[in-house]
Amino acid sequence: MIFSDPLLFAFSLLNTGAVLFLLVYFVITLSDLECDYLNAQECCSKLNQWTLPKLIAHGFLSFMFLIHGHWILTLINLPMAMWMVYEITAVPSGNLGIYDPTEIHNRGQLKRHMRDCMIHLGYYLVFFFMYLYCMIVALLKGDPINRDDQFEIDS
Amino acid sequence: MAQQNLPNGMPPQMVNSRPPFNTNMEKPPLQFNGIHSSHSSRDSSPSTRPGQQVPPSQLPPMRSTIPPSQLPPSRSPTNLINQKMGQLNVSNSNSRFNTSTPNQTLQNPSGLVSAFSPINVPKTDNSAGNQVFRQQLQQPPPPQQPQGNHSPYNSQGQNRTLINHGVPPYNHQIPQNQVLPNSQQTPHVNYNPPFQPQTYQRPLVNNHNQAPPHFQTMSQPKPVQNNNPVAQGGFNYNAAPNMNMPPPPQTQFKTNLHSNRYPQSQPQQPQPNMNPPQFYQQPQQQQHSVTQHGFNKMWGQDHVDLLQTPNILPREKVTPPKVYLGNEVLDSANCSPEVFRCTMTKIPESNSLLQKSRLPLGILIHPFKDLTHLPVIQCNVIVRCRACRTYINPFVFFVDSKRWKCNLCYRVNELPEEFQFDPVSKTYGDPSRRPEIKSSTIEYIAPAEYMLRPPQPAVYLFLFDISRLAVESGYLQSACAVLLEELKSLPGDARTQVGIVAYDSALHFFALGEGLSQPHEMTVLEIDDVFLPCPDNLLVNLKDRADLLTDLLTQLPTRFNNTYDNSSALGPALQAAHKMMAATGGRVTVFQASLPNVGPGALTAREDPSQRASTEVTHLNPANDFYKRLALECSGQQIAVDLFVVNSQYMDMATISGISRFSGGCINHFPLFKASRVLQNERFERCFRRYLTRKIGFEAVMRIRCTRGLSIHTFHGNFFVRSTDLLSLPNVSPDAGFGMQVSIDESLSDVQSVCFQAALLYTSSKGERRIRVHTLCLPICATLTDVIHSADQQCIVGLLAKMAVDRSMQSSLSDAREAFINVAIDILSSYKLSLNMGNGSSSLNAPQCLQLLPLYISALLKSTAFRTGTSTRLDDRVKAMIDMKTKPLSQLIQIIYPNLYPVHNLEEQPIILNSEEEPIPQPPHMQLTARCLDSKGAFLMDTGEHMIMLVCPGVSTVFLNEALGVRDYVSITDEMYELPVLDNLHNQRLHQFINYLNDEKPFVATLHVIRDNSPIRIEFFERLIEDRLENALSYHEFMQHLKTQIK
């Protein structure tokens, strides 16, 4: 499952875009809860089912970079992956997930979740453009006019 | 000069017999738990004292050590005492604790010293000093000591309390002669007569504490007089209420009755002294420097030096501070502190000011409290703010006769025509005549738009655990009997439904169908995927099927006697209950006796019994999310689950309690329950009876609103927070309390006052939708001093306890304990900061409104919930934590710091009249320390649900015969759980007093009368939390610790 670089970056662009959409959904749902349009139970069950897909998407991307030998990209992706793993493992055994309906209104948790989501959002936005740049660089690598040269370089 | 200094009634012969008052003396030793306060302990150590003849008449009775056999195991490191004695070459005279053997009285005073030694040794490390001391003491041997010492309390509880108890004269007297060379002492100018009017600061304190301290204890104590206006005027218990009146001659006998000091030393003399018994001693607290004094005067605020004030507890019940809004009408309209209370009576105007004061800001609310006067109104339009939906309340502003301005969001609203009509006088006009404007606690009968569905019938489902452990505990007998009796008085209308399910490893449903002659039992063995065996007849109408229910309840206790099923399928039973009640909602009552170990929600024993005393407590959090998830589902269907836990083994309260915590239920715990134990069974029955008959509100929601600029960020209690300010309470009960933490988001400097409004919408058991609204209004203040002096110590403690429970669950117990201490340090530091004092002061000052805070915090550190080092079962600890979260404040304070009263002289106490014009004696509140006990007394400790009466051996036979109705001391058995009703004054007063205490409780407390020499006395003594426990600091040590920490 080795892609060429442009393909890999195109995939990461898609992946990051999807996560971005998911994060926007998180933010909207949380602010709905804040404004009382949604009750805590609904909100938390909606969000909790998407936390694992988010981690998988991110982890898979890091893994892809790893097997493609993009060490730097892997390394800068790793802290976020580790943070997400920590978030999931740190959930107390009695809680229903990262977003617990009984606690979300307590001790400013809602604000904290909102802040976390915003940080995620910013992080992915930066990465989105980074991947875009990387993809363009990868596409431009070699002579874009003379496609044959590129294949020579690759092979 | 000494003469001038005496209290008015002090007769001259006392003056003469008093040792010369040394005016050079800078400072008498300040005693605190029997030791001198830290800075003076060295100077006042006996070695520095010149000898002084003590008049024999003033000597206390002999003291001797307590035989090890009488020491309570948990409190007294006997070997430590012995060791100390050995160190001092003091022989341990094993005198028995027996008042009737006069020949023991003249034993060597060494016994006395040995009692002293544990104090002096750690403090001064000066055993030579003790030796000197002993020699001094030997000079004047007590002349007549018909009674041996009665002070096991001192040396047992903490090996340090001695002085105050039995031998105060020594303590007071010796230092009198001491000329203190140490200049450290000079700021303390007390008891030096010329200074007294100045040093005297605390208004509550009786002036007679100006008497030289030895005076108070030197001579015969005298009972409190009822007719003494001073005693009734709110004076400190310790303040010697009777000092300015010569005792009437007829009180002679009674005097002896409650003095343990010189029981028969001066039998023939008319008792001239004015001195109160030991525990009436005035705290010597006015140790203020002149500077402090000046500051105090300037601010008109008083403070207390905690190090110098051992008896900090006021004589009367601690009353909540009043809120002053600067307008009498509003003040009187404000919400009762019993219902709604804030940690401060003035809100700081900004968050930074709040942070500076280091006080927690929050509210405690008891919304569904049983009230005697509650205005109920029914109207077409309930007037509410259109923007924030606040209910109209006494604190709104009327812009003109047609408009009002909301006091929470400041929107101007139209006033409906109808509102200007006064239903009482039937005229139109001033809207302020309306009950909504007159009272801040009001109940509306809500119109249809406040209902999501028509009011449902009251539905009660009972789940009984019938596993082997449950059958062995025998709870089923008691529970069914009480339920049978109270079936008729269950709150509800004609539609009330009742159902019963029993469960072990299977579910046993009882169909009570029409036409059946007896209940039809259906057993469902399939528990992994629960189903209901028949669609109806499981919940039946109470009126229609009363006979079948009676039949079932009579059969149930014996029906499962022969099961040997060790499994308990709580999870499936709850799922079945959820299915049964999903349509209507209602209340599920679960009796659980063992660890649920089969089916969904099965648990394993997590507790390691060997770790019960360790400092790190694990497993405070739930093991799985099954119960929480189910509770949320129940909450959605308006089902509340209440737990009655009658376990004899670990049953993982931390996990199981989730089902009640999030469904708005309540949890009652009866650890190690056996129906054969009379006291436990009695408590269980009373608790269950109260539970069945108390008011109940169904389908309730509570919304808390507050003025713009404030926000509520954390909620404490049993409920589910459905949205930012909406608490979902499937059931609400009158015994549930809630707490909220508040933060200040915006500056409040442009407003005069802030309001909190709690609106509880519920369906009454009669099927009416009602809204109960409570509004609390608090003024704003701008200075740190104002903030600190507006603190409400009890409320702060209530809130801190709740916060600490959260902390222990999220972080760790040691974190929570540390946080408690830090709170005390922070608050006292910020107070010091507000006083603007330098570091030189040797006192530990606290404002009067916070004087009890350190006491309560030290009590909390020793409470079941937060203690470490003492063996505590995990379930008990978790339950205690749940109590901290859910009990209303008054009950919570009583759990934290039980009330202790002397009851041997009730007929001499001041009296108040209750609503039925019966006289109720008002004995003083006592500190929870053995120092205050008196071997000629009887003491009642009220811990909320249980009362313990300790009868000491020296108590008068009159009290034994008349009040307790026993022949003599030994005939008080260990099983004395009630008092006989006799026709005499002693007995009547005792009953009146106990009934008066019970009136304030949800159900009548159980009573246990304990002899002082019975082994179960430990029950009483382990609750004397001011004393040193195995490895917890005594109150005084805690104060010393705070002192060192405060910069």
Whether B684 and B774 have beta carbons less than 8 Å apart is answered as no
Query: Which two three-digit tokens encode residue B566?
Result: 């060790």
Number of H helices, E strands in chain B: 33, 35
Q: Which amino acid is at B261?
A: R
- The continuous run of DSSP H or E covering B1009 comes out as strand B1006-1011
CA distances from A148 to A4, A69, A135, A140, A145 (A): 15, 24, 19, 13, 9
Please count the residue pairs, one from chain A and one from chain B, whose beta carbons lie less than 8 angstroms apart.
Answer: 60
- In angstroms, rounded to a whole number, what is the distance separating the alpha carbons of residues B394 and B409? 15
CB B938 within 8 A of CB B257: no
Residue B964 near residue B978 (C-beta atoms within 8 A): no
Of the candidates B621, B654, B724, which has its C-beta nearest A105's C-beta? B724
pLDDT at A121 over 90: yes
Q: Cβ(B362)–Cβ(B739) under 8 Å?
A: yes
B622 in A contact zone (CB under 8 Å): yes
Is A112 at the interface with chain B, CB within 8 A?
no
pLDDT digits (tens, 9 = 90+) for B413-453: 888 877 777 766 677 777 777 888 888 899 999 888 888 88
The model carries a pTM of 0.73
In angstroms, the CA B467 to CA B595 distance is: 10
The pLDDT value recorded for residue B724 is 80
Distance CA B815, CA B807 (A): 7
For residue B619, give the chain A residue with the closest CA: A93
- Looking at the DSSP bridge assignments, the partners of residue B776 are B756
What pLDDT score does A145 carry? Answer: 60
Q: Which of B484, B530, B539, B531 is nearest to B511 (CA)?
A: B539
- Residue B424: which of B438, B444, B405 has the closest Cα? B438
φ, ψ (nearest 5 deg) of residue B498:
-135, 145
Show residues of chain B in contact with A94, CB under 8 Å.
621-625, 628, 654-655, 658
Most B CBs within 10 Å, among A38, A42, A106, A111, to test the B interface: A106
How many distinct structural domains can be found in chain A? 1
Partner-chain contact B723 A105, CB within 8 Å = yes
| CB-facing half-sphere around the CA of B119: CA atoms within 13 A | 32
Q: If you classify domain B889-1021 with CATH, what class do you get?
A: alpha beta
Contact list, B624 vs chain A (CB under 8 Å)? 93-94
Residue of B nearest to A108 (CA): B713
Residues of B in contact with A108 (CB under 8 A): 713-714
Backbone CA torsion sign across A79, A83, A84, A89: positive
Give the Cα separation of B758 and B408 in Å (integer). Answer: 12
User: What CA–CA distance (Å, rounded) separates B283 from B553?
Assistant: 58
User: Residue A129 belongs to what domain range?
Assistant: 5-154
Cα dist from A21 to A26, A54, A60, A120, B657, whole Å = 9, 11, 17, 11, 39
Between B31 and A3, name the one with better pLDDT: A3
- Pick out chain B residues at pLDDT < 50: 1-290, 297-300
- The CATH number given to B459-693 is 3.40.50.410
Q: What is the pLDDT of residue B200?
A: 33
**Residue among B561, B763, B574, B548 at smallest CA distance from B663:** B574
- Give the three-class secondary structure for B781: strand
Verify whether the Cβ–Cβ distance A106 to B721 is below 8 Å: yes
Pairing of β B845-847 and β B403-405: unpaired
Q: Do residues B72 and B156 lie in contact, with contact meaning Cβ atoms separated by under 8 Å?
A: yes
Residue whose token pair is 């007719």: B227
- Whether B321-382+441-451+696-781 and B459-693 share one fold: the answer is no
Q: Do A106 and B720 touch (CB under 8 A)?
A: no
Which residue of A39, A102, A108 is in closest CB contact with B628?
A: A102
Best A29, A32, A105, A106 member to test B by mutation, with max B CBs in 10 Å, is: A105
- From CA B671, how far away is CA B473, in angstroms rounded? 11
DSSP characters over B793-821: HHHHHHHHHHHHHHHHHHS-HHHHHHHHH
Q: What are the angstrom distances between the C-alpha of B608 and each of B424, B605, B612, B869, B871?
A: 66, 8, 7, 15, 12
The pLDDT value recorded for residue B840 is: 57
CA distances from B498 to B367, B460, B520, B552 (A): 27, 5, 15, 12
Q: What radius of gyration, in Å, describes the C-alpha atoms of chain B?
A: 31
B299-327 per-position pLDDT tens digit: 446 777 777 777 788 888 888 888 888 88
Q: Is A34 on the interface with B (CB under 8 A)?
A: yes
Token pair in block for residue B531: 């189903």
- Rg of chain A's alpha carbons, rounded to an integer? 19
Residues 651-680 of B with CB under 8 A from A: 654-655, 658, 662
Structure tokens at B831: 């107070």
Chain B positions touching A106 (Cβ under 8 A) are: 713-715, 721, 806
Half-sphere exposure of B466 (CA within 13 A, CB side): 25
Using pLDDT thresholds of 50, 70 and 90, give the confidence band for residue A94: confident
Domain ranges within chain B, ordered by starting residue: 321-382+441-451+696-781, 459-693, 889-1021
Q: Are strands B586-592 and B639-645 parallel, antiparallel or unpaired?
A: parallel
Among A36, A94, A101, the residue with its CB nearest the CB of B724 is A36
pLDDT surpassing 60 at residue A88: yes
3-state class (DSSP) for residue B438:
helix
Distance from C-alpha of B145 to C-alpha of B141, rounded to nearest angstrom: 10
Residues A40, B628: C-beta atoms closer than 8 Å: no
Contact B628 A105 (CB under 8 A): no
Phi and psi torsions of B415, nearest 5°: -100, 125
Is A95 in Cβ contact with B623 (below 8 Å)? no
**CATH 2.60.40.1670 describes domain B321-382+441-451+696-781:** yes
Residue B888 neighbours by CB distance under 10 Å: 23
CA angle in degrees (0–180, nearest 5) for B326-B330-B336: 115
First to last CA, chain A: 17
Cβ contact A39–B723 (<8 Å): yes
Contact B624/A at CB under 8 A = yes
Contact in structure between B698 and B490 (CB atoms under 8 Å): no
Q: Any chain B CB within 8 A of the CB of A69?
A: no
Report the phi/psi class of residue A108: left, alpha or beta, with left for phi > 0 and alpha for psi in -120 to 50.
left
- What is the structure's pLDDT at B233? 34
The reply to whether A80 touches chain B by the CB within 8 Å rule is: no
Residue-level pLDDT at A151 = 53
Neighbours of B205 (CB within 10 A): 23
Contact B715 A106 (CB under 8 A): yes
Angstrom CA distances, A51 to A58, A88, B410, stand at 11, 8, 41
- Three-state DSSP at B976 gives strand
